[in-house]
Amino acid sequence: MVFNKKRTINCGGRLIDLSVPVVMGILNVTTDSFYANSRVHGEKEILNRAETIISEGGTIIDIGAYSSRPDAAHLDEATEYDRLRPAVALVKKYFPETLISVDTFRANIVKQLYEEFGAFIVNDISAGDFDSRMIPYAGKYGLPYIAMHIRGVPQTMQSSENCVYKDIVCDIISYFVKKKEQMLEAGVVDIIVDPGFGFAKTLDGNYELLAGLDAFKLLEQPVLVGLSRKSMFYKLLNITPEEALPATIAGNIVALRNGADILRVHDVKEASHTIKIFLKLNNYLK
């Protein structure tokens, strides 16, 4: 059977070519993200981080203000917006040709940022489940939309009941089949799916999902994978997130082999190199 995965994404009239995998660099304006080195504060740090992402080969800068790590503290909407807006404004001003994604599950934040700054990619960890207006807003504004799989909320997602699946790959694909129908009905044209590694998954579940990632081609949508320095590596190896870069590279190679189109990472240079090596090697793989 032939699957026709979509290979371009339109963001405000600019086409993102996904015929080869691309890197999304993380820019966190949070205070409590699980990887401390990813947090930036103040104009200088934000601009330095954005410049680093671009110079090291990043195609997309993903700006987030709400930590979604397990047991993360809840952040009110006003505070999230107050953190996000200056970062988006700086990147838009000083790097206007760079694609931005905004990591938020709140539709009102998307609305405010779109009205001031124009098009960007929406990166929603809840695929619209946390805010029923999110998918309709993405459709209304014609925004590319990253829909991630999660059960529960960050404060409860790792509970035993949320991490049980009959078949983790099939269950998540079925979830996205329904979500895709909902998004298309709302007018969302450019859909990216994110299986949600580390979100309502056990350690073994994460590896089962990574091994079965190739099955997501059934959805015929680009696939984003976010493995960077996650607990599936540092808990398995009994190390810290700061020590998990080699494991992340190994995981990303498997993800690329199994069909990942976008790697969301903290370490952009290493991910860019990983993609180049994979593409070279792929010329000789059967």
Q: What Cα–Cα distance (Å) separates residue 149 from each residue in 71, 82, 124, 162?
A: 17, 26, 9, 12
Active-site residue 201, yes or no?
A: no
Query: Which tokens is 207 given?
Result: 């590896």
Among candidates 178, 181, 175, 180, which has minimal Cα distance to 191? 180
Contact 128, 149 (CB under 8 A): no
Hey, what's the torsion of the CAs at 133, 144, 117, 141, to 10 degrees? -50
Q: Spot the catalytic one: 264, 269, 276, 280.
A: 264
3 state DSSP class of 212 = coil
Active-site residue 140, yes or no?
A: no
Q: Residues for the chain: how many in total?
A: 286
Cα–Cα distance, 131 to 111 (Å, whole number) = 13
Give the number of other CB atoms < 10 A from CB of residue 235.
Answer: 12
Q: Spot the catalytic one: 230, 235, 257, 280.
A: 230
Cα–Cα distance, 254 to 164 (Å, whole number) = 24
Q: Which long-range CB contacts under 8 A does 230-238 form with residues at least 24 apart?
A: 230/197, 230/198, 230/206, 231/34, 231/70, 231/198, 231/203, 232/197, 232/198, 232/201, 232/203, 232/206, 232/207, 235/203, 236/203
Residues known to be catalytic? 230, 264
